[in-house]
Chains A and B, each alone.
Chain A
Amino acid sequence: MVNVKIYSTETCIWCAKAREFLTSHKVKFTELDVGSDRKAAMEMIHKSGQMGVPVIDINGKIIVGYNEGALKKALKIR
């Protein structure tokens, strides 16, 4: 079972793309709004070592930014 989390902000365009990508590939995910959730923001910074959104955590593998190739690889989507 893949455990997918997106750390995002409400206004970020690449977060919307990431959400769209996961939904279109029927991948279930949890989304954490780092703009309003301080704890989630700290968790994101701790995991990725940086402050840019989106950050996507796929079973512990951290992807910074929207990168379709990296998402496909981590989710084994062809």
Chain B
Amino acid sequence: MSKKKSTGKNYDFLVLGAGGTGLAAAMYAARLGLRTLVLGHSHGTELPIGGIITTTHIVENYPGFTKISGPELAREIEKHALSYDLVSVKGGKALQIKKKKGIFIVKTEKTDYKTKTILFATGTRWRKLPDSVKNSSKFENMGLSYCALCDAPLYKGKTVAIIGGSDSAAKDALLLTEYAKKVYMIYRGSEIHPEPINLQRIEKNKKIEVINNTNLTKINGDEFVKGISLDRKYKSSNELNLDGVFVAIGHEPLSQISAQLGVKLNGKKEIKINHMTSETNIHGVYAAGDVTDKPFKQLITGVADGCTAAYYAYEYITKEKVMVT
């Protein structure tokens, strides 16, 4: 293992994805003396450095911070990782990965990197509304948004809906009430299922009306959203007039690239890992965070699994005496 500053193209531990999981793993890997590179998308429609936690306004369940905004927490985690000379964070997208003589080669648009071990911490992308919801593509960014934190301020004094029943959807609903005059929370299941503390907040908030057992079938409007159609009557109508629709119906794992190495995925396309070591079915290849098959997905669990991966990568490199040439 090299103690040199983390520059150049050869690494001990290469992390794909610069979300909370990847950055925390890098911090830990550096403590174990691993030269570490974190590659993360940083432009276009992908998530910025810090990942998906940057899309939430408040985090109240990350130890050490009673209450902190997602972007601020991500900055702290990035700063912590970068406080180690052995860590380097670059805004590149991994396009291709192969294994040659026990070493992994990761291709980005500009550079080829060599590494002894790899961590997939590529997270997820928002699940879009299915095509069965009429006009869902037509109204994207025309009143239909997948990022409440980005677009909520545009709906001051307006009526909006959030589609979804998870904790993320509930947090988005609560954020929206800071701007909108009315927020419908529309969920296909029988009961929304946020963390109990957020459920209580939803129940107490007079601006929020929860509509369970109901699917969105169509978005209505001319140039911009004017309303939605539902598959069940609500207050004797299948139509709701509103100005904006926010979507939080879950996420799809960004695991495709791992398939190039023969990494096994489950039916949901999540990377299958050993829940004790974060290792995949391929030696020297790890995965952690939202992209994996672990059922409970939070920043704190991703961070823990990322650090676990760093530890087992260190063990692997030491035991197998892997060399990058």
Interface residues of A (CB under 8 A from B): 9-17, 33-36, 41, 50-53, 64-69
Main secondary structure, interface of A, reads loop
B153 x A13 contact (CB < 8 A): no
Q: A12-B149, A36-B153, A68-B44 are in contact. List 15 more A-B contacts (CB 8 A).
A: A9-B151, A9-B153, A9-B154, A11-B149, A11-B150, A12-B151, A13-B71, A13-B149, A14-B48, A35-B156, A52-B141, A52-B150, A64-B141, A65-B45, A68-B43
| B57 interface residue (CB < 8 Å to A) | yes
- A-B pair number, CB within 8 angstroms: 69
Contacting residues, chain B, for A35 (C-beta < 8 A): 152-154, 156, 179
Is there contact, CB below 8 Å, between B43 and A51?
Answer: no
- In the complex, what distance in Å separates the CA atom of A11 from the CA atom of B154? 11
Check B143 for interface membership: any CB of A closer than 8 A: yes
**B43 close to A9 (CB less than 8 A):** no
Q: Which residue of chain B is the closest to A33 with respect to CB atoms?
A: B153
A21 to B251, CA, bound (A): 28
Shortest Cβ distance from A19 into chain B, in angstroms? 12
Instruction: Name the CB-closest residue of A to B44.
Output: A67
Q: Is B135 an interface residue (CB 8 A)?
A: no
Determine the chain B residues whose CB is within 8 A of the CB of A14 once the complex forms: 48, 150
In the complex the two chains form, what is the Cα distance from A41 to B244 in whole Å? 15
Residues of B within 8 A of A68 (CB): 42-44
Bound-complex Cα distance A15 to B154 (A): 14
A11:B57 contact, CB within 8 angstroms: yes
Could you say which residues of chain B place their CB within 8 Å of the CB of A41? 154
Q: Does B54 contact A (CB under 8 A)?
A: yes
Bound Cα distance A11, B155 (Å): 13
Are B42 and A51 interface neighbours, CB within 8 A?
Answer: no
User: What 4 A-B pairs come out closest when comparing CB atoms?
Assistant: A35-B153, A52-B141, A68-B43, A12-B150
Determine how close the nearest CB of chain A comes to the CB of B122; give it in whole angstroms.
Answer: 18
**Is the pair A13, B150 in contact by a Cβ cutoff of 8 Å?**
yes
Q: Considering the chains assembled together, what is the distance between the CA atoms of A51 and B223 in angstroms?
A: 11
Task: Point out the residue from A11, A12, A50 that lies within 8 Å of B141, measured CB to CB.
Answer: A50
Report A-chain residues with C-beta under 8 Å of the C-beta of B149. 11-13
A-side contacts of B43, CB under 8 Å:
17, 66-69
How far does the Cβ of B76 sit from chain A's closest Cβ, in whole Å? 15
Chain A's closest residue to B175 (CB) is A11
Which one of A9, A36, A51, A67 has the greatest number of beta carbons of chain B within 10 Å? A51
A41-B179 Cα distance, complex, nearest whole Å: 15
